[in-house]
Each structure stands twice: as structure tokens, then as C-alpha cells.
Structure 1
């Protein structure tokens, strides 16, 4: 379920296959990726091509840049009602058109990863949002988009501020939006090191079939920032706008195709209904010491909240 450096449209979220050394110096360097993206067809293929190229460019295996929720299992029906998916409008079949995850954060607003927008050329005209289902073969409905706003500090070279807010053309009144963190106090309480979270998505499983029809989810503990930034892991590439989750031994992770989807922690009532991260990037998927990297809503949440508040 985890994108690989920008885990979604690109492989593991576009990333996750970045090499551990000199990672901070040109993590994405998009200039060399443009020819690859230009040759890709669907938005999903553009994301995968980017992730694969990114992985190879930073010394990671290309095959690890495939979207998926690794080590997860099918989510119980209705467990994650706020889960949404970005769809390529020209492709009618939901299974074939899905290219990134997302979450419903208000009746008219959707949260996703910035790279899902900028690296695929997604616009209000060529993209829709699927809500109301955990099964890509049945149920749910597609809604048109009124506008898309990418975080002004989004940086393709460092993957900083990897969030975007989508305003829908109509309200979703039959689904409860997910609450999201906006302060460090909330993170310290609900997403401190070792606290449990759930990641989810329809990304590849690197098995047969490669992509699931039903939503997969995986339980992951929050990882200490110093551990994630150590020389054994991301070697200083984890910035203040990023949050890590996963296991030292690997085996479970979000992956390519999961980009833009939510990482949720327990709220004050003990329910997993507080979004603390957005699937962003990583090196490979479920690899030892290479944890999943998520956009950190304790830092980016105030900007997201401002977008939701706009008329």
C-alpha cells in the first residue's frame, strides 16, 4: 500500500526507493524524470513511472517502486467511510481509473498528496473523486472537482509540504468526514513514538492480481524522528513536514498507489478517526529500516484547515 518515493502515482508514493546516502541533495530532481512521464499514458502509469525512475535514480530496486499496502489485509466493510480515491475522468471503470488515495475532511473538501496533482497533471477538468465505497468494483459515486489547491511550499526536490486540498462541486452529506491534526499538541498526544496508526489504500500488493479491488489497511507504529533520520534509514532527509511510521524489520507498509491516502491515529474517544499523516514517499516498500514517510499534519494541518474554511 505504500508509494515509493511519492508513493502513489509514482511507485511507492512516488518515492520510497530513494537511496540512503546523499538523499537530501536532490531527492527527486525532476528534470531527469520528465521524459519518462511524457511517455506514460494514464495518470496511474505516470505515477508508477516516476516512482520507478526515482527508485533507480537513488540506488533502489525498480521493482520496489510499485504501489501497494504491504503486509496488510482487506478493510472491514465501512471501517474507513472517509476514504476516497482520485480518478482519471476519461476512464469510466473505477478500478482502471484510480491513481491516488485521498480522504474526505469536510463535506466539500478532499485531502491528498501534492505529488498526486503536480506529477500527473491532474486538474479540475480531467479528474474526479470517488467517495462512498471501499470496493472499486461496486458502490460509491464519482464527484466532479471545483478547484485544486497545492500547498505553496510543496517542493518536488525534497518532498516537503506534500499536501493538496480538493474542493468538490457538491457536498457529501451522507459520510462523516475524518478529523485531522492541526497542532503539535495533538500529535504528541495521539501520534507520539510507538503509538498505533492505520494506513490504507488500493495500491499494488506486488502479488497476483497486482492491484486489489477492495481497500487494504495495515497497522503501523509511529517511528521516532531521530531513528527515521539516522544513517541506517533516511540519513537526514526527513524534514519538519514529515512523519514516519512502520517497523524496523519491515514487512508492513503503505506503498506505491497509496499516495495521498490517510494515516489515522486514535482520537480522544479511542477510535481511529484522527488523520495525522498523508501517504507521501519512501524507499522501496516494507524494507528493513526504511519506514513509510507521511506528510505531517501537525505542521501542515493549519494550512489545510485554512483551505477548508474558504467559502
Structure 2
């Protein structure tokens, strides 16, 4: 059979607009168009992958924009506030949805993806247009021309894995999900983002499905159907491959649906995009397998990375990582978990009143040609020669790495910086070692850990200078959530000054999920499960601050009567404050006290520490 190519293209474009089904006889049969019985596809559905939701909290906007999906669906005069229309210079028309201030999702046949490459010529319409202004250049289908442009077609994103057209034409058969970055827009009652689905792919009739009909710009309530309702008894092998990857819904009359949504309480979630529309039913592609890629392409919608199993535990035995580590001189009402729980704060804090209470904590001073920088970071003594600190502490102003280890002075046994104390010990670093996978320029603080090694016999173990034990318990974070811990340091106080007396803070460790909920944008970029974790007490303004980096998060084991190092102060969300002191006005960066601090999780690095720190006992790797 011969096909007129011009007429064929016209029919194809109409088919794309109407989401119709075309059927042609092909001169050269292709195996994927081979007709088979539908019953032969049942095993495909039975082997369908069960996918969990990519985010964990059904009530929060994790993975979506704040206040997303809220709209009274009975107000159908202008349609959902997330619905967008896009027109290129050739007059091609595309449906889209806005999912954040910077991100739009649309879809189409792969060949039409090229229309977006000339991104400067795409006009985007969204939000309610002023009815008094009927200029076609400003209004389209009651939508306002948005003052924004497509900035980047992120990596020319092509997430399609399915051939949708029943036509044997090269490069004209892929359906593509397209993620577009736009300039920031301001949300309003008539322009707001839709939520992204955050549950699994096990749909049932209890869900409230809505088809977005782009012909009427309204949402049409629909019902969930068994998937076989959208397939004929005799189908092609290609459709059989699709079975188990689509969602079928039913409706009362023919609609031209582009997107499928599910309503939960007062929110709408984007669930799928249209494949084919039939008279009283429609078939959709499940977007859940693509969401992780969509998140990766977006600059302002993020999710928590996958939580992989913790590393294998290293057991140091009864002697722990260093002989007599983690033990301090016992005093009344000291050295207990209750004592940690009642500590005051570093931010809004009080002084440490007992000398020798934190004998493993060290202050780092950097000696430069223009003078010393005191207490720029903290560190934790773990043996007679090795201290653990944060890797970023070994980079100074301008992100330049400290070249000479001898520039670093370590001070141990100090409580009051203004007093002459016999308990103090000073020594210069012999060398330092960054974790080999730390990448300072990437700014993510992943693998933010380092070792400082001092000369042999330069440290004397006393009542006021003692090593802390490396963690020798269960590694799973779930085992220590809400347990008390403490941090100490000479970082900035609430007055934005460095204290003279060592400050201490009582903090509690929280789950990855709880941390991400506090500030999804910040923590989705910086939180790396198993490599770091969150702790603090933001409800009371408790937080380590600038200058506390590198210090240890310490936990007490009542059974063993020892303190252990579980984390290293790594990073937190910063803010700028204007200080007016005397006649000077200065802007400085400081900590944000009402969020959590990120701590490098020592358990992922104990083997590296054991292999590189002198004098550490050689533990055994557990199976």
C-alpha cells in the first residue's frame, strides 16, 4: 500500500492534537506490530514492578512546591491554575503544567521536541487573563501571557521509553516527557503549581481520579478501571509491552485529555500523561518511573536521595578504638545521658563550667603572614596523635586549601581563652589528610571529613586531654533518633561574636525525613543519607554556628561508661546579618538557628580512619 506523504503528515498532526488512534497496513511487517491474543499479556502485568513513592510524607510538599495543587475543581471557568499553554513561532500548540517557579512539564511526539530548541520563540500563557484585554498577543484561551521565557531545555531531556504511534516512520514515534526551565514566575490564586505524585503505583478505585480536558479547560472526574479495559482482545506485541505500565480510567463521554491527576484532601497530584483516548475511557502513561529523572532536571524541586544500607560495622572489642578512650574523671551528676540532655546551648548559650569535661575537644588556630586566626574550627582527639575534623576546615578564605600543615596549631585542654591554664597543650600539625572523595568546589559537603596528625609524643594524656572513642555500636541512624547528644565549640554566639569560654549545646538526632521536611530545598541538596545526618533543637534556637565546624557530636553509652564520636559538625543553612558596632557597619554570614545542622556520619568513615590514623586499635570488619 502506498501512502501520500503530505496527506499522511496532516493526518498525523491531527491525530496528535486529538489523541486519536490510527491504524495502517504496513508493507513490511515489524515483529512489535504482530497481533497476539490479549491473554498472552497477562504475565506482563503479573511481573509489573511495584514502585514505592519517591517521597515519604503524604501530608508535606516534599518533592513539590509549597502550597501546590490547591484549587476548587468546581470552578471551571478558567481551568486549573497550573495549566499552561505554549505556542511556538510556527503556531504549534502545547499543553503544559507548572510544577515550581522554575519548572514546566509538557509532552509530545519526539519529533516535535525540536520546536523547543528555539526556546526564545516560545510564548507561555498561564494564569487568568484580564477580561478587558482581548489582544491575542496577550491572551490565549483565557490565559495571560507570562513575563517569562524558557531558559534551558535541560539536557534536551528525553525520558521516553515507549513507542506510541502505530506507524512505521523512523524518528517519528517516540512520546517524550519534556522538562523546561523557565525564568522565575510569581504565583497567585490563578497561577500556582500542581503537586507531583508521592505514593506508589498501586492504584485502586478508592483514589479520586480527574482527567484534565484541554478542550474545555476543566477537570473531569473519572473512575479507575482494570488495565485490560483499555486494550482490545487482539493487540499488537508493542501494546502488550505497554501493559502493566499504563493507567486506565473511565469517563462518561469522549474527552481530549492530556494529564491525569489524583485528588487527595484539598490537593491535586500530577499522576500520568495521556497515551490514547477512547469513547468512554482513556489510557495514560504512568509518570512515577520518570519522576526521579524529572527531579534531576529541575533546579528547584528536589527529593531525598535513596537511603542505602549502612556500611559494615567495625568492632574494636572491649578495649575500643583507643585504650581508656571516652572516659573522664567522674564528678557528681556528671557523665550521664541525663547530664547531656540538660546542657545549655551554643547559640543562646551558657559557658562550660567544668574543666576537663570535654578533654577530647581541640581548637584550631591558623597562623598566617598577617597574624593568627584563632578558633577557626574545632577537632576531636581520637588517639595520641590523630584528630578528626571537617575537610572544609582545611580550606581558607577564597576556597584555597591550606598548603602547609605547620600553619595549623592544635590547642587541647582549653576552657577559658583569656586565662592562663596549666591544663592546655599546644602543638603544630605534622600533616593532614582529606578524605579522598571530598570535593570542596562542588559545595555539597559530601565526605566532609579529614584527619590532622601531630608529631609523635607531642600530646600527653592527662585528666584534661584524652581521646574520644570511635563509634562502636549499631550503625543504623534509626537506632539513635531522638537520643541526646552534645557538641561544644568556640563558634559564634547569638551576639555574633566568638566567646571566651567554651560553649556547649544539647542536641537531638532526627531522621532523614524529619530533617528534609524542615527545609526541602536546602536539605535535598545537602543531605546525603549514611554520609551525613541532622541534629539540633531548632524549636529553641539550638545550633552549632560558624567556627564550630569540625567539632564532634558526642554520645554517652551508659552501659560502657564511655563517650563516643558519632558525627562531625559539617554545615548548616547560613544567613546574612548586618552588624552595627560603634561607628562601623558590617555584613557577616552566620548560622540559621531554627533549622538543623548537618553532621558527617562517622560510621561511614571508620574504616578509612582506622587505616590512616596512627595508634588506633585495629578493629574487625563484621559480616
TM over 0.5: yes
Whether 1:281 and 2:571 are equivalent positions in the alignment is: yes
Please say if residues 432 and 450 of structure 2, whose CA atoms lie closer than 8 Å, have aligned partners that are also in contact: yes
Aligned twin of 1:215: 502
* Correspondences of 1:146-295 after superposition (within 5 Å): 146-156=430-440, 157=442, 158-171=444-457, 172-174=459-461, 175-181=465-471, 184-185=474-475, 189=479, 192-207=480-495, 210-230=497-517, 232-233=519-520, 234-237=522-525, 238-240=527-529, 241-269=531-559, 273-284=563-574, 285-288=591-594, 290-295=595-600
Please say if residues 221 and 247 of structure 1, whose CA atoms lie closer than 8 Å, have aligned partners that are also in contact: yes
In structure 2, relative to structure 1, the CA distance for the partners of 1:306 and 1:188 (3 Å cut) is farther
Whether 1:125 and 2:406 are equivalent positions in the alignment is: yes
The whole-number CA distance in structure 1 between the counterparts of 2:455 and 2:385 is 7
The whole-number CA distance in structure 1 between the counterparts of 2:348 and 2:388 is 25
Query: Which residues of structure 1 form unaligned runs of 5+?
Result: 1-20, 26-67
Q: Which has the higher strand share?
A: 2
- RMSD between aligned residues: 2.9
Task: Give the SS at the match of 2:467.
Answer: coil
In structure 2, relative to structure 1, the CA distance for the partners of 1:90 and 1:173 (3 Å cut) is same
Number of aligned residue pairs: give it: 244
In structure 2, relative to structure 1, the CA distance for the partners of 1:182 and 1:124 (3 Å cut) is farther
Task: Give the SS at the match of 2:568.
Answer: strand
The whole-number CA distance in structure 2 between the counterparts of 1:269 and 1:176 is 20
Q: Higher mean Cα deviation, 237-246 or 225-234? A: 225-234
Whether 1:98 and 2:385 are equivalent positions in the alignment is: no
Task: Give the SS at the match of 2:613.
Answer: helix
Please say if residues 186 and 298 of structure 1, whose CA atoms lie closer than 8 Å, have aligned partners that are also in contact: no
Aligned twin of 1:136: 417
1:110 to 373, 387, 393: 387
Higher relative contact order structure (alpha carbons within 8 Å, sequence separation ≥ 6): 1
* TM-score, length-scaled by structure 1: 0.70
The whole-number CA distance in structure 2 between the counterparts of 1:155 and 1:72 is 33
Q: Higher mean Cα deviation, 179-188 or 80-89? A: 179-188
Task: Give the SS at the match of 1:89.
Answer: strand
Residue 183 (structure 1) shift: 6.2
In structure 2, relative to structure 1, the CA distance for the partners of 1:224 and 1:183 (3 Å cut) is same
Please say if residues 411 and 427 of structure 2, whose CA atoms lie closer than 8 Å, have aligned partners that are also in contact: yes
Please say if residues 182 and 302 of structure 1, whose CA atoms lie closer than 8 Å, have aligned partners that are also in contact: no
Query: Which residues of structure 2 form unaligned runs of 5+?
Result: 1-298, 304-344, 575-590, 617-623
* TM-score, length-scaled by structure 2: 0.36
